[in-house]
């Protein structure tokens, strides 16, 4: 990746939401949980800012109950916004792949740390988001 693509700074981090259900009577800590992970992004072209939202859901082993839902927002200010954000044929903003992957890694690591902090001392303290293939 060229140096012109790396001209951004982390502008902010915000815990948008965190919901944890009560421990069910039949919850078994030894059974694996399922973790869903999604990211979405919004772009404020006027202010040269990219927002990335990371959502993590942890479900019980039967996939019937959402045990935790966490959403974290990270915002990045780009000094070279026009070099990094292009538009496709539909007019939608598209971030260069390498830069987008850098932002995704930063955001998932941030969300993982916030999740860990939120779960300390709870019945789900061992539910840690594993490393993802792109990390």
In a domain, 135, yes or no: no
Domain encompassing residue 68: 3-22+30-119
Q: In this structure, is residue 111 part of a structural domain?
A: yes
In a domain, residue 128? The reply is no
Tell me which residue of 117, 128, 84 sits closest to 102, measured CA to CA: 84
How high is the mean pLDDT of the chain? 89
Q: Does residue 129 lie within any of the structural domains?
A: no
Q: What is the pLDDT of residues 44-95, one digit of tens each?
A: 999 999 999 999 999 988 877 899 999 999 999 999 998 999 989 998 889 9
Q: Which CATH number does the domain housing residue 45 bear?
A: 3.10.420
Number of domains the chain is built from: 1
Output the pLDDT for position 133. Answer: 64
Cα–Cα distance list, 90 to 47, 53, 86, 96 (Å): 22, 23, 11, 16
Residue 73 belongs to some domain of the structure:
yes
Q: Tell whether the model's pLDDT for residue 1 goes beyond 50.
A: no
């Amino acid at each position: 990746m060229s140096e012109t693509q790396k001209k951004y700074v982390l502008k902010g981090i915000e815990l948008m939401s965190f919901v944890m259900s009560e421990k069910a009577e039949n919850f078994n800590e030894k059974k694996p949980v399922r973790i869903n992970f999604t990211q979405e992004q919004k772009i404020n072209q006027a202010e040269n800012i990219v927002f990335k939202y990371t959502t993590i859901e942890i479900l019980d082993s039967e996939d019937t109950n959402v045990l935790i839902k966490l959403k974290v927002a990270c915002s990045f200010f780009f000094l070279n916004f026009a070099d990094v954000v292009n538009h496709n044929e539909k007019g939608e903003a598209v971030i260069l792949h390498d830069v987008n992957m850098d932002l995704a890694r930063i955001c998932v690591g941030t969300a993982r740390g916030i999740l860990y902090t939120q779960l300390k001392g709870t019945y789900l303290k061992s539910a840690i988001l594993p490393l993802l293939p792109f990390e």
